[in-house]
A and B are shown apart, each in its own frame.
Chain A
Amino acid sequence: MDNKKIYDLLCSSDPHLVQIGWSILNDHETYLIQKHYKDIPGDFNGTDKSAIFNNALKTFDKNLKEGKFEFIDEKSIEKYLRLLIDGEIKNEVRKRTRRKKREELCDLLPEQPKASPEMSREEALKEVSKVIGEKIGKNCQQVLIDKHYWGESYQEIAKKMSITFGSVRNKGSNCLNKLKEEILKDPKLGKYIKELIRQAA
């Protein structure tokens, strides 16, 4: 993999050459991802691996445009991409663990009513989305999204925001508390949750 050639292509002012650079990087998917095979759990299929690689490329593109990537030596791109791939794998593993645990929790909870007369799950989510937009500050939104949407760990978020791990963990916990309180305070959502719990009684 000719890192310098790829870097020159990606930094070119000619969009056609930039495209060639990305297509060369794409061709190296197997080469770049194979080093991580031992870190990738067995339930990740080819599509999952490609998604991880594509996400790493997207982040690389973003960081390249924002000047966060520095070409130091002839292995710079490889090293950087491997770091991003490693992060993507960890995030995906975390997301899957949470999904599994969430299912376990759902099994313990009362079965959801087949047809709630008041509100469907989709409507409830729209309402929560509105609450997030209106009642949760931008900083809080960012921490919650990084943690619960992208599956990042508090360590990663702390590094990104240049604050301590403890501060981020407190912030994440406080922001989630605030959101839950707003949900329970919201007349429609509060009623929706009560309805779900009533089914258990």
Chain B
Amino acid sequence: MTKYTDRIEQFLDGEMTAEQEAAFKAQVKTDRDLAREVEAHLLATEGIQYFQETKEIKAEKSKVSTSSATEKLSRAAIENQKIIKKPKRSDNIRRLLAIAASFLLLILAYFMIPKSPHSPMAETTTQIIKFESGTRGENTTKTPLQQGIEYFGKEEYENAIPLFDQTIRENPNRRAEAQFLKADALHRMDKKPEAKAVLQSITKTDNEQYYNKAQSILEKY
């Protein structure tokens, strides 16, 4: 019933010699059994593709609906939390807790939010700072870049810039990061032409990641 499968596959994979191919093609034209099997073969392989595509579309759809269902569940959980009545605390304790929470929020904001929201480099700077503070590990000796970042966090840009310069000179692996932070520090000190010059120097390096970022900032600068 299906005696030509291997030959058809050999033809489709381009594994036949020119003579074999010519003979096969001639046979397809004249042999009705082979033609019928070729039709079934093509329908089968096309069907496999259709089967898998449909499966992938379904999986994609269910992923979307699962995520929206998860969202709904978490919303419901939040709503439930709102409904659950907690035992009343005394007014003094509640006030103290509110003050403590505000302090915590302020401390978090101090470390997390870039100091100048108007800096076009703020987003990348935050990413660099986050990464650099995460890579310190158990090594307690701070690199000039990390020391510079500390000064940057305290808005002491004059102290931070020499440390970034040192990194630019001495550490080619962190040069682009240091250049970016230096540009941001200069921007925050309102030294925009100098900041622009540093950004331009990033676009002359071969670091693709920061090249693209510097380029897009320069376009709007």
A and B: real partners? yes
A window 109-161: CB within 8 A of B? 109-110, 124-126, 128-129, 131-133, 141, 144-145, 148-149
Asked, given contacts A108-B29, A197-B32, whether A102 binds B135 with beta carbons under 8 Å apart, the answer is no
Binds A, one of B49-57, B77-85, B148-156, B196-204: B49-57
**Does B1 lie within 8 Å of A181, measured CB to CB?**
yes
**Does B131 lie within 8 Å of A17, measured CB to CB?**
yes
**Does B208 lie within 8 Å of A17, measured CB to CB?**
no
Out of B32, B42, B47, name the residue touching A132 (CB < 8 Å): B47
- Judged by a CB distance under 8 angstroms, whether B61 is at the interface is no
Chain B interface extent, by class: 35 or more
Chain A interface extent, by class: 35 or more
B window 15-67: CB within 8 A of A? 25, 28-29, 32, 35-54
Give B52's nearest chain A residue, CB to CB.
A149
- Judged by a CB distance under 8 angstroms, whether A23 is at the interface is yes
**Does B25 lie within 8 Å of A27, measured CB to CB?**
no
**Does A183 lie within 8 Å of B5, measured CB to CB?**
no
Binds B, one of A52-60, A65-73, A79-87, A172-180: A172-180
Chain A residues near B39: list those with CB within 8 A: 109, 193, 196-197
Expressed in whole angstroms, the minimum distance between the Cβ of B94 and any Cβ of chain A is 33
Asked, given contacts A27-B208, A105-B42, whether A20 binds B2 with beta carbons under 8 Å apart, the answer is no
